Structure 1
Amino acid sequence: MAAEKRLDFFERYLSVWVALCIVIGIGFGKLFPGVVEVLSKLEVSHVNLPIAVLVWLMIYPMMLKIDFSAIAKVGDKPKGLLITLFVNWVVKPFSMAFLGWLFFKQVFIGLIGADMANQYMAGVIILAAAPCTAMVFVWSYLTDGDPAYTLVQVAINDLIMLVLFAPIVMFLLGVSNIVVPKDVLFMSVLLYIVIPLAAGYLTRRGLISSHGEEWFNTKFLAPLKPVTIIALLATLIIIFAFQGEVITSNWFSIVLIAIPILIQVYFNSTLAYSLAKYFKVPHNIAAPGALIGASNFFELAVAVAISLFGLQSGATLATVVGVLVEVPVMLSVCSFCNRTRHWFSDQKVKENG
């Protein structure tokens, strides 16, 4: 019997670390308001420099993992990829916009007010417009997904994100009557997608060429993994230091924000998984596809929300709530995919036959 696959220590308890960051950040903001004020003023063109450095430390190692040469293999099994792209880019941003409108502007409007409704809606739209990049490899591993195919799905999503992320965000926020500084949004895409993606590609290509792939993975890439986690946690501490007053005065907002995000995750994962079953996609492609459709590139979403709306905004808080719920919710989706593996037994036989 194969050994049970588990997340490593930091990944397994990521939601716990995020919760601790809430406490530490709020406490830091209360105890050292002067330091927080100084950090908030370290900006260039609406980009907070401490946050920008930390986000780069999160995103750059993720981009190093992507092997774009794997895209050449996509023609072998196109159905799984097409389902993933359909859910990520045709369904997900628009269904999140609808859920945001339904809950924040209709159901919860009396509790949060019109201004916060717009802020929270902006945050969840930004969150949904950025498909997951890094954690998908973890979810794929836990469901015995095809690692090469998962890599293809992530690589193509990242390339599409270069083109579609900004237009989708602008369109959906515009439809929602939320003003978006276009120059700031495009600067965020350049800073947090284009540059790290290009840097990751060039670094990966150069080091593999000079030192070999095994050295790159074990000696260069592996030591960067804790850097990503530490940078994420440090970012959250700073964010919650700025969000402290909002949270302590109205902590129930976190619960309200989590509701449409949770519905969105389960809706998209169910849709992708069901389509994979219907179109006879093997389980080792169907499960990662469902997980990609459900999870978000929350590091990018947090950075963009900060650039567009500021550290203390409701939009930023909404993206951070996405981080808080991501791990336990995605683990539940992984568990469901593993328990229903037998649903795809016919597909596996046909694929192997």
Structure 2
Amino acid sequence: MTSTDTAVVGKLSPLDRLLPVWIGAAMVAGVLAGQWIPGLGAGLDAVAVDGVSLPIALGLLVMMYPVLAKVRYDRLDTVTRDRRLLLPSVILNWLIGPALMFGLAWLLLPDLPEYRTGLIIVGLARCIAMVIIWNDLACGDSEAAAVLVALNSVFQVIAFGTLGWFYLSVLPGWLGLPASDLAVSGWQIVKNVLIFLGIPLVAGYLSRRLGERAKGRTWYETRYLPKVGPIALYGLLFTIVILFALQGHQITSQPLDVARIALPLLAYFAIMWAGSYAFGKAVGLSYERTTTLAFTAAGNNFELAIAVAIATFGATSGQALAGVVGPLIEVPVLVALVYVSLALRRRFATVTEE
């Protein structure tokens, strides 16, 4: 790591610099809490609003608000004009990503149809939440991330059910493979987007608009944002603890199955992130927008994937277990890729996006 990279990492708070340690500890704490505290998992899962676990929803809202409060909404037009960013993002997220997960699931889990179906559902659920955290930690473009996440949300509402039908029923039939059925509620998808993106997005927009109007942009960015910024990581760690408390028993009781599910997930995250990163650099995007493209393409909406798998196949199904293993692999892998991204920063010349 060069002195420039060291300076970048050195600007991170102790919480940021040791994030992999805290995330690992949060995972362990969640699993142990779910195992050692009688009835904790059932109790947490029972506290839900219309099928959405209230503790997880609370953690995600707290996690996303500070990051969306940082976005300069008056600069979003500079992102929407950048076709080098928008078109590749749509293609990577809605054509390449689902197709890649379909191929990896069939290649590596040919004898495990339930897990295979669960992974295909994960591949269809494009990220609208945690990717904003990874992008922010890697010093990506906050405005670009907000636009790409909004695009993913729109496409998720429109395309998730159709793509599920295609990849689980139609395409396997064309290829002479066994088909599956996926009953997806359109309202489940809309609700997921409105809760996990809409609420913090509106709160972040209003915070900036009202804060700048009352005390100016300098106060807002130098006084207010530094105070609320750390809350995002506290929300992330809280969410991880709750998630693994709810699903820890499934993970610890089937370690070999978890290992087999993890293999295609590892391949997927590596291929999607590295391919997107290489493409961004090849077409001349800046470091910030290349990083945003890579993380928004590699991340997945595990909340939606788990909800759909449970609603369609049941909480104890193999499809649901595959959805749960998703964040188990995604969180540490994408945290590691934050550090990889920062290390690669020196390879980019300073570019001003117009």
Q: Give the number of equivalent residue pairs.
A: 327
Contact 1:29 1:244 (8 Å CA) reproduced: yes
1:257-299 Cα distance to aligned partner (Å, 9 max, x none): 33333323332344334434544x1553564255335542x6x
Q: TM-score, normalised by structure 1?
A: 0.79
1:227-257 Cα distance to aligned partner (Å, 9 max, x none): 2222222222222122222122222344333
Q: 1:256 aligns with which of 257, 260, 272?
A: 260
Matched, 1:316 2:327: no
1:46-98 Cα distance to aligned partner (Å, 9 max, x none): 11122211111112222212222212334886535544444344433432343
| Distance (Å, rounded) in 1 between the aligned partners of 2:126 and 2:260 | 16
Residue identity matched to 1:21: A
| Distance (Å, rounded) in 1 between the aligned partners of 2:80 and 2:129 | 24
Q: 1:271 to 1:51 in 2, by over 3 A?
A: closer
Q: 1:156 aligns with which of 130, 147, 170?
A: 147
| Distance (Å, rounded) in 1 between the aligned partners of 2:199 and 2:228 | 18
Q: Which residue of 2 aligns with 1:291?
A: 294
Q: Which residue of 2 aligns with 1:304?
A: 304
Q: Measure how far apart 1:307 and its partner are.
A: 3.8
Contact 2:59 2:239 (8 Å CA) reproduced: yes
Q: Which residue of 2 aligns with 1:118?
A: 117
Q: Measure how far apart 1:33 and its partner are.
A: 2.0
| Distance (Å, rounded) in 2 between the aligned partners of 1:286 and 1:227 | 24
CA RMSD after TM alignment: 3.2
Q: 1:331 aligns with which of 339, 343, 353?
A: 339
Q: 1:187 to 1:213 in 2, by over 3 A?
A: same
Q: 1:174 aligns with which of 165, 172, 175?
A: 165
Contact 1:272 1:293 (8 Å CA) reproduced: no
Contact 2:47 2:54 (8 Å CA) reproduced: yes
1:132-162 Cα distance to aligned partner (Å, 9 max, x none): 3232133236xxxxxxxx2342132133123
Q: 1:76 to 1:128 in 2, by over 3 A?
A: closer
Contact 2:121 2:309 (8 Å CA) reproduced: no
Could you tell me which runs of 5 or more consecutive residues in structure 1 were left unpaired when the two chains were aligned. 142-149
| Distance (Å, rounded) in 2 between the aligned partners of 1:323 and 1:14 | 11
Residue identity matched to 1:16: V
Of 261-270 and 208-217, deviating more is: 261-270
1:100-146 Cα distance to aligned partner (Å, 9 max, x none): 34333x2xx3xxx33233223323432567793232133236xxxxx
Q: Which residue of 1 aligns with 2:178?
A: none
| Distance (Å, rounded) in 2 between the aligned partners of 1:269 and 1:35 | 36
| Distance (Å, rounded) in 1 between the aligned partners of 2:152 and 2:126 | 13
| Distance (Å, rounded) in 2 between the aligned partners of 1:237 and 1:101 | 31
| Distance (Å, rounded) in 2 between the aligned partners of 1:271 and 1:317 | 23
Q: Which residue of 2 aligns with 1:53?
A: 58
Q: Which residue of 1 aligns with 2:209?
A: 205
| Distance (Å, rounded) in 1 between the aligned partners of 2:163 and 2:128 | 10
Q: 1:42 aligns with which of 39, 47, 64?
A: 47
Q: Which residue of 1 aligns with 2:8?
A: 5
Q: 2:34 aligns with which of 25, 29, 43?
A: 29
Q: 1:159 to 1:99 in 2, by over 3 A?
A: same
Contact 1:93 1:129 (8 Å CA) reproduced: no
| Distance (Å, rounded) in 2 between the aligned partners of 1:15 and 1:221 | 23
Q: Which residue of 1 aligns with 2:71?
A: 66
Contact 2:89 2:293 (8 Å CA) reproduced: yes
Q: Measure how far apart 1:303 and its partner are.
A: 3.1
Q: 1:157 to 1:218 in 2, by over 3 A?
A: same
Contact 1:174 1:180 (8 Å CA) reproduced: no
Contact 1:166 1:185 (8 Å CA) reproduced: yes
